Structure 1
Amino acid sequence: MGLVSPAARDALQTWLEHQRALKGAAENTITAYQGDVVDFLAFMTAHKAQAQGLGALAEIKITDMRAWMARTRGPDVGPRSMARKLSAVKAFYRWLAEREGFEPTAVLSTRAPKYQKKLPRPLAVDAAKAMIDCVEIQSDRPWVSARDVAVLTLLWGCGLRISEALGLLARDAPLPDTLRIIGKGGKERVVPVLPAARDAVDAYLRLCPHPLTPDAPLFRAIRGGALSARSIAKVMADARMQLGLPATATPHAMRHSFATHLLDAGGDLRAIQELLGHASLSTTQAYTAVDTARLMEVYNRAHPKAG
C-alpha cells in the first residue's frame, strides 16, 4: 500500500474489519475488497499526483471515476470484473462518507459497464446420472472411484458446494438424515441427506485405505491428504470428454442440477433457496435457469385464481 496515504490506509483497514466482524464477509471477499480498493486509491494518487488523504478522497469527481474505469478496463478486466471492483469501491465510499460526513454522490452515481450474466448450465437428469456412472469406472483404484462417486452424489443429491463437500470431516460420517452446513459468509443451513448420498459415502468409507480419525478430512487424496477441488474438477473433465458433454459440466453444474431437478419435480423456489444457502432469491432463480414460460406454468398450476 505504498502509494496510499496513512489516513486512507487506516480507514480501509477499519472498513475491512467492519466487513469481517459485522457483515460476516468471507476471507476471500475481504482479500478481493482490499485489492480492489487499494488499486483504486493508488490510481487516484497517481492521477492527481498527490497522496489521497481523507480530504482529497471527499473531492473525487465523476471525471476522476471515468478516468479510473478507462484505465482499469482492459483485456484482463472485463465488464463483470469492472462491476465487481466498482461495487467494492462504492461500498467503501458509502461507509467512509457516513463516517467522515461528506457527500459521495460522484462515486455512488458511477455506473458499472453492462455485461451479460452467464446463466449456470445445469445438467439434465440423465446426463448427471451418466456423469456419476462414468466417474465410477474411471479409476483403477476402487476406493478412489467410490470417493469420486460419493463427492458428486453429495453435490447433486444435497446441493452442496464443492468446498462444503470437501470440508466434511470423518466424524460427520456415517451421514445423518440431515447435515448442518456452514456456507458462504458463515451462513448455516440444514440439508436433508438422500439415502443414495449416504450409501455412496458408506461405500467409500468401507474402501478408504487411510485412517479416518474424527477431525481428519472425510475425503482423501491418493497419498492421504485432503482431497482438492481441482482433483474433482479434473475427474469431471475426463468424464465429460468421454460422454461428449460441454465444458459447462463442472462440479458446480451438479449443484445447479440439484436446484433445477427439484424445481422440475414441483419444488418451491423459496425452499430451494434455503437448501442452497442463497442469501437472495434472484441467485436461486439464476441457478435454476427458470424461463418465463416455466414460471407461468407453475403459477397457472398453483394459483387458486388461475384458469
Structure 2
Amino acid sequence: MTLISPACRDALQNWLDGQRALAGASENTIIAYRGDVGEFLSFMTLHHGNSQGLGALERISISDMRAWMAQTRAGGTGARSLARKLSAVKSFYRWLAERAGFEPTAVLATRSPKFQKKLPRPLAEDAARAVLDTVEMQSTSNWVGARDVAVVTLLYGCGLRISEALGLKGADSPLPASLRIIGKGGKERMVPVLDAARDAVATYVRLCPYPLEAAAPLFRGVRGGPLHARLIQGVMARTRMQLGLPATATPHALRHSFATHLLSAGGDLRAIQELLGHASLSTTQAYTAVDTARLMEVYDRTHPKA
C-alpha cells in the first residue's frame, strides 16, 4: 500500500467507505477489497515505474490488465481467486469512472479467467443427524455442550450462517416461530424456527450460568464473553474426526445440508432462496446440481450393468 499515491489511496478509502455504508459489505469483504484493489494499484505503480495518480489510472490499457493478470497468476494465484480480484477492481473502477468522468473500457472489458465452480459440499442426512447427536460429547461441561448443540441445530435446522447464529441477542430468547435475520448486505429475511431448534436453545438458556441481557449476545464463551466462530469450528472439527467425516464437514456445510435436504424433499427453489437469504437465484441453483450429482451417484451404484 505504501507504493500507492496519496490520491489513489484516498480514492480507494472513499470507495471502501461507500461499500461499507451503502452496499452493506461485511468487514471481511472490506478487508478483501482493500487487499485486492491495493495490490492492483501497487502493481500498476511498479509496472509503469512511477507513482500512479488518478489521471494515470484513466489511461490503463488492456495490455496493462493482461500484464497484471499474468503477474498475479505467476505468483501462484488460482483462477478462482484471480476472478475475485478482477471483480473487485472492476467494481472500484466503475465507481471511480463515474466520479472522474472517464470511460473504464479497458478494465471492464477484461475477461475473467474461466474456472470450474465448486459445488456446495453438504452432509448426507444420516451424517447431519449424527453430528447433532455427537456435538455435545465434545465438552465436559453440560451447559457448553448444550450451547454447541443449540448453535449447530440453528445452522442445520434453520439454514443460518454461523455469523447469523452468533449474532442472536438475549432478546431473541425464547425463540419465536419465525426469526428476523439480517444477513449479508443488510438483507433481511424471516426464517421459520423448528421445534428442535427452539428446544435446543431453551435448554442452553436454562443451563447457561451467565445472565442473558436483552442487548447482549445470546451465545456465550466459557468466560461469559461473546462466543466466537472459531470455537464452533473447533467443535465441528472434533465431531467430524469422531464420526470419520471428511474435512468438508464444517459449520457452513450444515447450511448447505439444510438447503440440499429441503430440495431433495421437494422444496421450492425460490422458497429456499428466501430462507437462505441469497440475493440471486443462481446462487441457490447450485443446490440443484448437487441433487443431480447425488442422483447420478445412486444410479451408478445401483443400476444393473449389462
TM-score under structure 1 length normalisation: 0.90
The residue number in structure 2 matching 1:259 is 259
Deviation for aligned residue 1:205: 1.2
Shift of 1:104: 1.8
CA–CA distance in structure 1, aligned partners of residues 250 and 171 of structure 2: 28
Aligned AA (2:230): R
Out of 89-98 and 175-184, give the one that drifted further.
89-98
Residues 256, 288 of structure 1: 8 Å contact kept? no
Change in CA separation of 1:152 and 1:288 when aligned onto 2, cut-off 3 Å: farther
1:190-236 deviation line (CA, Å, top 9, x unaligned): 11111110001111111111222222221111222211111111111
**CA separation in 1, counterparts of 2:184 and 2:240?**
28
Aligned match of 1:79? 79
Cα distance in 1 for residues equivalent to 2:164 and 2:270? 21
Matches within 5 A, 1:86-105: 86-105=86-105
Deviates more, 1:111-120 or 1:141-150: 111-120
d(CA) in 1 for partners of 2:47, 2:254:
46
**Alignment of structure 1 residues 1-307 onto 2, 5 Å:** 1-74=1-74, 76-287=76-287, 289-291=289-291
Q: Secondary structure at the match of 1:137?
A: helix
Aligned-partner SS, 2:181: strand
Q: Deviations over 1:147-206 (max 9, x none)?
A: 111111100111000011111112211101111111111111111111110001111111
Give the drift of 1:20: 2.6
Residue range with higher mean Cα deviation, 212-221 or 199-208? 212-221
Q: What secondary structure, in the 3-state scheme, does the structure 1 residue paired with 2:138 have?
A: coil
Identify the range of structure 1 (243-252 vs 74-83) with the bigger mean alpha-carbon deviation. Answer: 74-83
Could you tell me whether the CA contact under 8 Å between 2:177 and 2:192 is conserved in 1? yes
Identity of matched residues, %: 76
Equivalent residues of 1:183, 1:277 under 8 A apart: yes
Give the whole-Å Cα distance in 2 for the aligned partners of 1:210 and 1:247. 33
Deviation at 1:124, TM superposition (A): 1.4
Q: Which amino acid aligns with 2:71?
A: R
Amino acid at match of 1:82: L
**Pairwise CA distance, 1:52:** 1.2
Give the gaps of 5 or more residues in structure 2: 296-306
Find the residue that maps to 1:121 and give its secondary structure: coil
The 3-state SS of whatever aligns with 2:180 is: strand
- 8 Å Cα contact 1:260/1:289 also seen in 2: no
Count of aligned residue pairs for this structure pair: 295
Distance in structure 2 (CA, Å) of the matches to 1:232 and 1:2: 37
Contact kept in structure 2, 1:122 and 1:288, CA below 8 Å: no
- With the length of structure 2 as denominator, give the TM-score of the two structures: 0.90
Q: Distance in 1 between matches of 2:164 and 2:140?
A: 26
**Alpha-carbon offset, residue 76 of structure 1:** 4.9
Please say if residues 120 and 289 of structure 1, whose CA atoms lie closer than 8 Å, have aligned partners that are also in contact.
Answer: no
Tell me, yes or no, if the aligned pair for 1:147 and 1:219 is still in contact at 8 Å.
yes
| Residues 74-104 of structure 1, C-alpha deviations (whole Å, 9 max, x = no match) | 4652222111111111111122223323222
Quick one: distance in 1 between partners of 2:159 and 2:123?
Answer: 13
- 1-side partners of 2:116 and 2:294: how far apart? 21
RMSD of the TM alignment (CA)?
1.9
Deviations 1:243-280 (A, max 9, x none): 11111111001101111111122111011101100101
Q: Determine if contact 2:263/2:287 at 8 Å carries over to the other structure.
A: no
